[in-house]
A and B are shown apart, each in its own frame.
Chain A
Amino acid sequence: MEIADALKESYIKGFLNEGKRADSRGMLEFRDIRIKRGTIDHAEGSAEIELGGTKVLAAVKLVLESPMEDTPDQGNLIINAELLPFASAEYETGPPTPESIEFARVVDRGIRAGNCIDLKSLFIEEGKAWTVFVDLYVLNYDGNLLDAGEIAAMSALLDTKVPKYEDGKAIMKERVKKLKVDNIVASTTFGKIDNYLLLDMDGNEEKVANARITIATDGENIRAMQKGLNGSFDKSEIEKLLDNSFEHYGKLKKIIQNE
């Protein structure tokens, strides 16, 4: 195991020292993004993303619940993630790991901070509101779960139709209108290997990276950021990555909206 990792490291750094990446991509270039929508018809909305070898399925279920005590006029948004044990040789069955918890919370942060779903629009009448559950199912890991998850979640929300509400009950078989999505947030995750800055690391690159930073924007504002791994960034590196994140927004938004 140790030897294999060391070989991986020299393999990847060999390319970087020549200004290249193993799969011939540019340093700040995404892999191809493919999205299939509506694949799970039991779910009110769904989208499956392929980002290189990374495959994430996002499914949305709407549940009729009473609003929370301190927010009586709105519904809820809850985002969960599961790293399925078959998605990678290194994943195991068991309770949520810190990685999977961080993944869900960071995806949630960008979408919530961007006010993508107007929680007030989920309110039906006193004591009744929709809770929007978004479950991120990682089917295959090949790096950059954070962006794959966020883009899949946004696409699934755009695919979501709200069930009919009648006489105090939800009629799940009948879906009557699209979920109101007010904003599109797009996520870009960068990594640092030695002093090289890369966008959308694949599985091998992630093993070798010493620092990582996720930046989620809506084109005008930075909505969420999360630095990860035990390396560091200085302010000028972060500024450069913020620039690049905003540059990518337009294209990512089109992909999410299926244009």
Chain B
Amino acid sequence: MASSLNKPELLKNGKRLDGRDFNQLRNLKIEAGVLKNADGSAYLEWGNNKVIAAVFGPKEATSKHFADPNKAIIKCRYAMAPFSSLEEHGRTGPNRRATEISKVAKEVFENVILLNEFPGGEIDIYMEILQSDGGTRAAGITAAAVALANAGIPMKDLIYAVSAGRIDEHIVVDVDMLEDNYSDADMPIAVSPRNNNILLLQMDGGFTRKQFDEAIEMALESGKEIHKIQKDALERCYKNINEK
């Protein structure tokens, strides 16, 4: 958490610093099928976030030790490029934060992918953050879902992720980096929109019961828009096949 010495004003005239309403998402653009070698891929821009997701598989599990004769195993890697931050140059290689995010993201995909269809198999999912501005795990997971669909990996649902937060007494959705550093609560979630099942939920800061409730509702509502953008990306990708 940043020092409270320099806490900036995050709100101005009842709106957020970038002019958004509390329940408004940043600009989100997704393009599917952007990498030739990957079995599936997606490029995503969300506010100033730039993310590439790539999927390989299904394929034979590379390590006999971890292979499961009854279903596919998943390898999932979330990583931030050393040039992704405006303020500093990072180091390559996974840090503890990236390790935790890789783990909770993997648990999301283990839920929705029909693993039983590939006994002894393996599916590799990569989420690479090329440029970061808050909400990168939500961006990575949202992109990876599209990449998985592009790879033809059978899934129960096309899932999405988004973050909700609190600035003073206001609940907001889609927290950017500045807001993330100084906000009073931050909660990324991943959702399966078919039943609104929650597949990932992390939170820190402070929420009363009522605030938590409002935050979840706002996130689920914004998810409808995110899901539509994901579907649009796939439609554009396969549009020309459709026309035949």
Contact = CB atoms under 8 A, between A and B. Distances in A.
A225 B1 contact: no
Nearest to B203: A225
Interface in B195-242: 195-209, 212-213, 216, 220
B111 interface: yes
Contact of A222 (B1, B199, B207): B207
B2 A71 contact: yes
A233 interface: yes
Contact of B111 (A72, A231, A239): A231
B110 A223 contact: no
A73 B203 CA distance: 26
A98 interface: yes
B49 interface: no
A239 B204 CA distance: 17
B96 interface: yes
A118 B176 CA distance: 26
A110 B171 CA distance: 20
Interface stretch (A5-13, A26-34, A101-109, A157-165): A101-109
A225 B208 contact: no
Nearest to A114: B206
A225 B104 CA distance: 13
A234 B197 contact: yes
Interface string A49-77: 00000000000000000000011111000
Given A98-B99, A222-B206, A242 B212 contact: yes
B198 A232 contact: yes
Nearest to A74: B3
B198 A233 contact: yes
A24 interface: no
B195 A234 contact: yes
A96 B95 CA distance: 11
A156 interface: no
A112 B99 CA distance: 20
A222 B216 CA distance: 14
B136 interface: no
A232 B204 contact: no
B196 A227 contact: no
B117 interface: no
A226 B201 CA distance: 6
Interface in A68-101: 70-74, 96, 98-99, 101
Interface string A186-198: 0000000000000
Given A113-B204, A221-B207, A223-B206, A230 B198 contact: no
Contacts of B220: 235
Contact of A224 (B107, B198, B204): B204
B100 interface: yes
Which of A109, A222, A231 has the most chain B CB atoms closer than 10 A to its own CB?
A222
Contact of A225 (B97, B103, B187): B187
B197 A226 contact: no
Nearest to B110: A230
A22 interface: no
A73 B204 contact: no
22 contacts: A96-B96, A101-B103, A102-B104, A104-B96, A105-B96, A220-B208, A222-B206, A223-B205, A223-B206, A225-B202, A225-B203, A226-B201, A227-B202, A230-B107, A230-B110, A232-B198, A235-B196, A235-B220, A238-B198, A238-B216, A239-B213, A246-B209
Top 3 A-B pairs, shortest CB-CB distance:
A230-B110, A232-B197, A225-B203
Given A113-B205, A234-B196, A238-B198, 5 more contacts: A98-B99, A220-B208, A227-B198, A239-B213, A246-B209
